[in-house]
Structure 1
Amino acid sequence: MDASDADLVKRALAGDRAAFGLLVERHRSILLRLAQRMLGDPAEAEDMAQEACLHAFLSLSRLRDPERFGAWLYGIAVNLCRLRLRARRSTYALEDWEGGRVARGFTWAEAQPAPEAAYEIRELHAVVLNAIALLPPEQQVVVRLHYLDGLTLTEIGVLAEAPLGTVKARLHRARERLRASLAAELAQEFAERGEHILPIWIGPHEGDMLKLQLVEKSAPRPLTYDLMVRLLDLAHVTVERVAVSRLHEEVFYATLWVRVEGKTHEVDARPSDALNLALRAKAPIFVAAEVMDAQAIQPNELPAKLKGDQSGIEDKGEWVSAPLPDMGLPAHRSTKPEK
């Protein structure tokens, strides 16, 4: 009968290096897959796996629960991979900023957002992170690994040593809590500014992409909208502005204004796609006056509006309330229009 992780940890702490070698071999395959999933490079993944094992060996005495050695080791690897990814993004060649060509008339000031925009982004970031901090610990872990680190639900299940169904349930409950707490928080903030809110239901996947952009986080691999913006840049196509332009039979429609070779063209789009592109292309976002007049609500009405809409969606069995798909795997896409 094979020794348990706890037994091998105890032997390793007593000076049996062969026992630690057995621990490494037992978890090496998952460790490598996890590192390669985050870094996308087999050679780098091998380096990170070895470094994670070294960190684990040197810190083994600080492991509180020897039975959870595997999850502990994977957590070390995730942190090391995150550091490597941050190091990758710390410097950029100027040529990369304009599709491989030297940016014409570039000044460093243009790379920075306006002070007002930067302040609003930091405020929103703080609001979201504070809301996450109020979640139960097991829900915090799932939210951070999925939204901030870009891990799939399957990978989170391996790290948390929990079945996939349990991970999905935790994420679903976390989203419900965040929806309620953020609705109340943002409603108060908008009320203080004397502003109105336009609630629009969008798909879970598109919502994920918006949230990642709003909190200035990126997934380990380029996402669809990031690729679209990069291709537009290479083709010298500029997204000038977007707007939620009309409402027809309770379905919202959006319009993009794009400039191609000096001419501006209008392109129809779903609001979720238009908003995701606008945020990444740093294009202004507008709402048609007639749409605001028909659908905007007071900030203090937002929690009740979301609760009522959610109940109606659940009664109809629509996809909006379903657990999120894995970001790293093909997601089921609904053919229904957005509301």
Structure 2
Amino acid sequence: MEIEMKIRGLMMDPVTNMPIVVLKDVAGDTVLPIWVGIFEANAIALEIEKTATPRPMTHDLLRDTIRGLNAQVDKIVVQELKDDTFYAVIWMRQDGEVVTIDARPSDALALALRADAPIYVHREVLKNARLSTADAQNVTAEQMRQWLEGLNDDEMGRYKM
């Protein structure tokens, strides 16, 4: 089962100094942190802030290519967590045919923002991510959930949604 999520914001991990995209369940309080690279976080931040660039960025080019081929992005799904790595799939449609493409979650999220496509996460991924995060940081899943849910806009940085 897929759970619809929205990007709650971007923040920096105080331990690793790596960007985190925080996804939040649209119908509840479930949150999912996904650590991403600096460049990927920048691509997401540019779209969140609706910052125009003088030339198309990679995700803009991908969106424009999809449109140019008379296709559309229906949704992106974070569908697996394996060995502490998230896996996503971009679901597209062209001439009535469904096409799925494997993608890094950060790229899929950046494209979803640009294509105004919904973001989903498999329920099993949410369950496994809570367990993995709790084990890795020696905190309980409930403590991690409460910390992420309790973040205020200042803690989320300027990239709040």
Q: Is TM more than 0.5 here?
A: yes
- 1:272 corresponding residue in structure 2: 106
Identity %: 36
Q: Which residue of 2 aligns with 1:335?
A: none
Q: Cα 1:253–1:262, aligned 2, differ >3 Å: closer, same or farther?
A: same
Task: Give the match's secondary structure for 1:245.
Answer: strand
Matches of 1:267 and 1:229 in 2, distance apart? 14
196, 210, 231: which one aligns with 2:65: 231
1:146-173 per-residue CA deviation (whole Å, 9 max, x = no partner) reads xxxxxxxxxxxxxxxxxxxxxxxxxxxx
What is the identity, as a one-letter code, of the residue corresponding to 1:271?
P
Seen in structure 2, the aligned counterparts of structure 1 residues 268 and 217 have a Cα distance that, compared at 3 Å, is: same
For the residue of structure 1 that corresponds to 2:34, the secondary structure is coil
Give the Cα–Cα distance (whole angstroms) in 2 for the partners of residues 220 and 267 of structure 1: 28
Residues 1:281 and 2:115 are matched in the alignment: yes
2:43 pairs with 203, 209, 224, which one? 209
Q: Which has the higher contact order (CA 8 A, sep 6+)?
A: 2
Distance 1:267 1:258 in 2: 8
Give the aligned partner of residue 77 of structure 1.
none
Q: Which residue of 1 aligns with 2:147?
A: 301
Aligned CA distance change for structure 1 residues 256 and 219 (closer, same or farther; 3 Å): same
2:29 to 190, 195, 203: 195
Aligned counterpart, 1:240: 74
Query: CA-atom RMSD, angstroms?
Result: 3.3
Q: 1:246 to 1:221 in 2, by over 3 A?
A: same
CA distance in 1, matches of 2:127, 2:113: 24
TM-score by length of 1: 0.33
TM-score, normalised with respect to structure 2: 0.66
Alpha-carbon displacement from aligned partner over 1:237-261 (angstroms, at most 9, x marks no partner): 1111110000111111001111122
Letter in 2 for 1:253: Y
- Which structure is larger by alpha-carbon Rg, 1 or 2? 1
Q: Report the Cα distance in structure 2 between the residues aligned to 1:256 and 1:224, rounded to whole angstroms.
A: 16
- Cα shift readout 1:271-310 (whole Å, capped 9, x = no counterpart): 011111111011110000100111145543339xxxxxxx
User: Within 2, Cα distance between the matches of 1:273 and 1:211?
Assistant: 12
> What is the rounded CA distance, in whole Å, between the counterparts of 1:301 and 1:244 in structure 2?
22
- Mapped to 2, the partners of 1:216 and 1:277 lie a distance apart of 13
How many residue pairs were aligned?
A: 125
Query: How many angstroms apart in 2 are the aligned matches of 1:251 and 1:228?
Result: 23
CA distance in 1 between counterparts of 2:53 and 2:42 reads 11
